Amino acid sequence: MSDYTVTADTQNLVSMGGQYLTSFQQKLLQKSLNQDLPESYRQRIQIMLLADEGKSQAEICRILGCCPATARHWIHIARSGMAHQWQDCPIGRPKAVNDQYLQRLQELVNCSPRDYGYSFRRWTGNWLSKHLAKELGIEVSGHHINRLLKQMGLSVRSNQRYGKTSTNQQVDDCKILISDLQGEHMLDYPVFLPMNLAK
């Protein structure tokens, strides 16, 4: 935890322009520093502001009590002109897939996407990933979703498309079969009718 606060010198640099930050970035960081933030986010901002004042990495580490790698990273962000994107790097390890996620994934694969307001008829790994990220807040790539499905013995691929359906299921899916046609004048013996299939 640091007791670093905005100094008068920093206030003057905001109006004059520092070494690395634009006036927009300085104002944005100063404003963000006044908000109620977790300590690690405050430290990021303080590192960039101190670097902009001209402090060295060693001085920043001593003032804030942070490790050199952290100081070096955020000094680099300030130098590269990306200081305004300080919130884009989330803190901590990404959330891992848990049992609840796997159970929900299995439920979704067995349902139609149309039940959830989508216009398409079958799920893809990417759409499952997006839907589960909205529902559970865990972001996983579409490729990883496909790997998880394979491990569970499931797939988003249509069985008919890949020839894996049984003949009975294919027959059930048809609306009309040739064998269902009945006519008054059906002959008991086979008749071959000439057909011209060439167009």
- The answer to whether 138 and 101 have CB atoms below 8 angstroms apart is yes
d(CA 46, CA 52): 10
- In the chain, what are the domain boundaries? 8-85, 99-151
Please indicate, yes or no, whether the overall pTM of this predicted structure exceeds 0.75.
no
Residue 14 CB neighbour total at 10 angstroms: 18
Instruction: Calculate ∠ Cα 108-112-115, nearest 5°.
Output: 95
**Signed CA dihedral, 68, 74, 75, 76: sign only:** positive
Give tens-digit pLDDT for 89-127.
666 665 678 888 889 999 999 889 999 898 988 899 899
Q: What is the pLDDT of residues 7-39, one digit of tens each?
A: 444 444 344 457 888 888 888 888 888 888 888
